Structures are given as C-alpha cells and as structure tokens.
Amino acid sequence: MIPQPTDRLTFRCMTDADLDDMCRLLGDAEVMRYYPRAKSRNEVQRWINWSKDNYAKHGFGLWVIEHRTTGDFIGDCGLTWQNVDGQEVLEVGYHVLPERQGQGLATEGASACLRYGFETLDATMVAAIINPDNMASRRVAERIGMTVWKSTRDPSGAPIVVYSSHGHEA
C-alpha cells in the first residue's frame, strides 16, 4: 500500500526503471549537502534495492513522488525503520529535486506519509532524523507538527536532531 495522493503529489513504489531520476536526485550535491557525499550510480542502485527490500519486508519504504498532474519526477518520500540510540523508530524521510524545492512539496509529501504511518500502520510515534544544520528539513518537520525529541549522534558519530510526532498532530 502507498499513501493517498495529495493535492499535487502521487506516490508509487520505486523500481529499477527509476535509476536515472534517482541518480539526478541523490547524485546532486545540493540535495545531499547534509549527507557525507552525493551518491554514485551504484550507491543509488543500492538505495533502490533497499527501498524494494523494505516494501517486501515491511510493506512500506521510500516511495517515488511525482507531480499529480504532469507525472514529473519530484523526489522520494516515505517511511523507514531507523536506529536511534539503540531504539528502532519509524522515520519519515524526504528528498526533493533542487528545482522543486521551496514549493512546499516536501511538507506535502511528509504530511501524507505521517498520516499514513498513524492511520494505516497504527504507529504510535514517527520520527524525523535531521542534521542540525539542515534548517529547511527542520522546517518541514515543524510544519507537519513534529517537535524536537532529542539531540544525539548517528551511528557514524555525526550530530543529529530527532523530531517526533505521536499522532495527535497529524
């Protein structure tokens, strides 16, 4: 299952046919600014494989988001299990092409995924794991009703701020 379409977005499962679009997204230095580096084509293929594995194992993952009217590729957005300080948490994540940023699309997609987590998956909490310097991503989390849960470090030792929602805001 996938989230319901929004006013401007549709969601669909990622496939190998998305490799070029996903390379455009995850290979972009600006999109990946708060990651260790932009991803290579092989790393993007692994990302797609990981997404497909998540669909098979959990029934959800990161989905491709496309413009509802034009069908244009916009990015990815979805829910994945992540480890925060030894605790498995359901995380909402999102990446949007640079030319589509600043239009509220990440907020729209993340809001739909948050609702999906609570209404379809019966999650009790959804998190967003964000580099503290990534103010745009932090604003997305805040706009969908998330609040800071904790500041900690990811498994590589990099600082992160973890936002959370418990459903009543969604």
Average pLDDT over residues 141-164: 96
Residues 36-40, mean pLDDT to the nearest whole number: 94
In a domain, 120, yes or no: yes
Instruction: Tell me: pLDDT of 167 over 50.
Output: yes
Inform me whether the pLDDT recorded for 170 exceeds 50: no
* Per-residue confidence (pLDDT) for residue 168, from 0 to 100: 57
Residue 119 lies inside a defined structural domain of this protein: yes
Share of the chain above pLDDT 70, in %: 98
How large is the average pLDDT for residues 18-45?
97
Number of domains in the chain: 1
Find the CATH number of the domain harbouring 33.
Answer: 3.40.630.30
Q: Is residue 25 part of a domain?
A: yes
Answer whether residue 4 is part of any domain: no
61 or 156: which carries more pLDDT confidence?
Answer: 61
Domain membership of residue 33 (yes or no) is: yes
AA identity, residue 6: T
Mean pLDDT for the stretch of residues 35-49? 96
Q: Read off the pLDDT of residues 60-94 as tens digits, 9 standing for 90 and up.
A: 999 999 999 999 999 999 999 999 999 999 999 99
Residue 2 within any structural domain of the chain: no
Rg of the chain in Å (alpha carbons): 15
Residue in this structure with the two tokens 């580096």, named with its chain if needed? 37
Q: Which domain, by its residues, includes 60?
A: 9-165
Whether residue 44 lies inside any domain: the answer is: yes
3, part of any domain: no
